Amino acid sequence: MDRLARQTTPVRWLALLVVVFVGLPGVAAADEDADIVLLLTQVVEGEDDQEIRFWWSEADKPRWTESDEVVFASLRELGVQPAMPDAINISRIYRRPGLSTDNAAQLGRLLNSERVLVGEVQYRSLPPVAPLGMAGVQARAVVELVPAGDAEGISLERFTVQRTVFGDDVEDLMARAQQMTGRALGEVIGQSLQRVSGDVGSQSGNRLLALRNLERAENLEKIRDRLVEIEEVDRVVERWASEGVIALEVAMHGEAASNSGMLDYVFRALENHEFEDFHLIRNEPSSLHNVTEFWLEPRRSQF
């Protein structure tokens, strides 16, 4: 799987790729009302080889995989419109499997979508299971939701779906595994997108924490880790993201959840925490409804 390992493209290459892509003729953009672009690499592991397929491999005509088709159908049932361009004429460097999140974000922006789902769906045959001797197929999907156009390719959410099916007919097993995995993926993705749809700042009845100028995924993880270290905090959930802003909902344990002042205590603890690479500065008042805003400011080196 070395050839599917993610590769981080330098910023100067990203700029060149965008120019090359826009300058090429024959690009059919996604529907204007599309909610998401899917960039799923499908890998089928055989006994001696593997089949790798991805719809953007052809310069003039998308070739959808079985996994794509099932996820599309599942998303539509939930009211989510996936982007399905008629043609996509892109640079050869983009026409490869296992796109990095930053390349996927750039491609999503060029297809006029707000978000991108990028990752891999892998199917692997299992040896017959004793004592019945039935064959099996194991499916595993690991995908990430990325805002289109984000230069860093920051992951908003990560989804992992795993399914295993057994039976006598190997071809039927593969079809069942694709149906089950694709439907499960579509459901979790569609539910996530429904949470972040609508007017910004109105997705939750609870007060949210908004982070501005958050450009690196590791900084988001540091903030989340600090929040869950606080004894009263149960979990931290990403509720929505728009350009330059990510909003988190901080859920409390037990009695702390009904204490209206506890959230203020948590926000003060976060504000006063000494992060190694950045400061959190409170923005007051916030321009967003029912939101407490923090601006992330990088620390200046003393040398």
pLDDT single digits (tens) 177-198: 888 888 888 887 777 666 554 4
From the CB of residue 69, how many other CB atoms can be counted at a distance below 10 Å? Answer: 13
Q: What is the pTM of this model?
A: 0.55
Reply yes or no on whether the pLDDT at 270 is more than 90: yes
Please spell the DSSP secondary structure of the chain, one letter per residue. Answer: -GGGS--PPPHHHHHHHHHHHHHSS---PPPTT--EEEEEEEEEE-SS-EEEE-GGGSSSS----HHHHHHHHHHHHTT--B---S-----TTTSSSS--HHHHHHHHHHTT-SEEEEEEEEEEEEEEETTTTEEEEEEEEEEEEEETT-TT---SEEEEEEEEEEES-HHHHHHHHHHHHHHHHHHHHHHHHHHT-SSTT-S-SS-EEEEES---HHHHHHHHHHHHHSTTEEEEEEEEEETTEEEEEEEEPGGGGG-TTHHHHHHHHHHT---SSEEEEEESS-SSTTEEEEEEEEPPP--
pLDDT single digits (tens) 96-110: 888 888 888 888 877
In this prediction, residue 48 carries a pLDDT of 75
Greater confidence, 5 or 41? 41
Reply yes or no on whether the pLDDT at 280 is more than 90: yes
In this prediction, residue 294 carries a pLDDT of 92
- The mean pLDDT value for 203-217 works out to 75
- The mean pLDDT value for 44-68 works out to 84
Greater confidence, 184 or 123? 123
Would you state the structure tokens that stand for residue 68, as one six-digit string?
């794509």
Under the phi-then-psi rule, with left for phi > 0, alpha for psi from -120 to 50, and beta for the rest, what region is 201? left
- The mean pLDDT value for 255-277 works out to 88
- The mean pLDDT value for 141-164 works out to 81
Reply yes or no on whether the pLDDT at 57 is more than 60: yes
Question: What domains can be seen in the chain, in order of their start residue?
Answer: 2-195 (3.40.50), 208-298 (no CATH)
